[in-house]
Amino acid sequence: MPLGSQSVLVVEDDTGKVLLEKNSTVQVPIASLTKLMTAMVVLDSRADLEAPISIDKTDVDTLKHSTSRVPVGAELSRRDVLQLALMSSDNRAAASLARTFPGGPEAFKAAVNAKIRALGMSQTVIEEPTGLSPNNRSTATDLVRMASAASAYPEIRRITTDTKDIINIKGRKVEYHNTNRLVGAKGWDVGLSKTGYTEEAGRCLIMRFKSAGKNATLVLLNAKANSARMMDALNIRRFVAGPDGEPKVMKVAAKTSRKAAKSSKHHRRAA
């Protein structure tokens, strides 16, 4: 089965059996997949989810100049900020979660590093909460661990599988949508989802889903286009179901050479 993503790992949740693997131990930038870690440590901190957070000018992305529909000065509950960071992958929302973390940004960073160690993610480095930095790097193998951990949080499962939400922004009701079009799509039973995109990371996806009664986790890293990421996910779902409903184990031939990602001053939004 040809797969467009540079790194792929598909694991059967109930048994831990690897169903599909391609470059799963290659460390690459992970873009907004980072936000699952941000959400976990915020929830671990037991910070008040109803407490108001005011979006600050320091939350604005000056690295990639990505857009946000959350204006500086907007005041939202921490719960709504978490919703925007996970479901809509809003970078200002994620930045504000780290800035308002109990003990401040340094305590946030320490909590992230402690969580990485606790989960045994030995090939993972996370320097900031949004994933905009290419220094946030991991492997598909480590990210399956992160997905498994994140799925233990009811709040993260709920938010990442919401198709849309209406949030009050400065007295105006604004509709936000999930960055993963497969959430809520016909034929998909998704239990956890997070997309990612930066120029360095390409198109990324973490998803837990059910197919033909089987629960599986997939990690796709560095697909060159959104269409390639979607096609990989569709092919994987069919593969997991199998023609006779039995999952099969498959090894994908991995290319050893990899083109270095081009750097550019013009970056689209990290999704």
The pLDDT value given to residue 145: 98
The pLDDT value given to residue 243: 72
Q: What percent of the chain has pLDDT over 90?
A: 88
The pLDDT value given to residue 242: 84
Tell which residue, 225, 235, 192, has the closest CA to residue 210.
Answer: 192
Catalytic residue among 5, 24, 35, 115: 35
The pLDDT value given to residue 1: 78
Give residues with Cβ within 8 angstroms of 241, minimum separation 6.
211, 212, 214, 247
Low-confidence ranges of the chain (pLDDT < 70): 244-271
Catalytic residue among 68, 89, 133, 193: 89
Is 35 among the catalytic positions? yes
Tell which residue, 118, 132, 119, has the closest CA to residue 33.
Answer: 132
Catalytic residue among 7, 24, 32, 193: 32
The pLDDT value given to residue 244: 60
Beta bridge partners of 217: 11, 208
Is 32 among the catalytic positions? yes
